[in-house]
Amino acid sequence: MLRFLQFELQQDDAESSTIEAMASVRKADVEALETEAKWLLKQLPIWLGTPPAPLDDGGEWDVWVQAHWDGQQPQSIDHRSPDHWGNTPPPSDSSGWWTITVTLVVTAGLAPMLNAQLLD
């Protein structure tokens, strides 16, 4: 299902779980990685049955996406409009790595469903 983003359980307790993936690719694979991440962001509300919202505000799950080239500061990506990444151009030597990190936080009730989709 996912080629680049490989999720791992980072924290699991009685109230919530945090699942995270990081993928780094060279310039030739940037489009493929971004396509995969955009697909995932569109699938999550379908799988989980609700839009993302901070758990502190009563939401059942939330997502945080960051991306950057080596040597640059990570940028937060607006998950509500994943078709507009706003990424910076690659370094002029094109030898750097493009990294995307996806962090998901879900309530204990949704954790099994997300785990089945991403960790199994």
8-12 β-sheet, strand order: 8-12, 16-25, 98-107, 61-69, 75-77
Exposure b/e, 82-100, CB count within 10 A at least 16 = b:
beebebeebeeeeebbbbb
Interval 9-25: pLDDT, tens: 998 889 999 999 999 99
Separation CA 96–CA 30 (nearest Å): 11
Q: Are strands 61-69 and 98-107 parallel, antiparallel or unpaired?
A: antiparallel
Interval 49-64: pLDDT, tens: 999 999 999 999 999 9
pTM value?
0.88
What is the pLDDT, as a whole number, of residue 95? 67
In the chain, domain spans: 8-83+104-118
What is the pLDDT, as a whole number, of residue 86? 55
Please provide the distance, in angstroms rounded to a whole number, between the alpha carbons at the two ends of the chain.
11
Q: For residue 57, give Cα distances in angstroms to 8, 40, 61, 68.
A: 25, 23, 10, 28
Interval 65-107: pLDDT, tens: 998 888 888 888 877 665 656 555 565 655 689 999 999 999 9
Strand partners, 21: 102
The CA-based angle 33-41-37, given to 5 degrees, is 5
> At residue 118, does pLDDT exceed 60?
yes
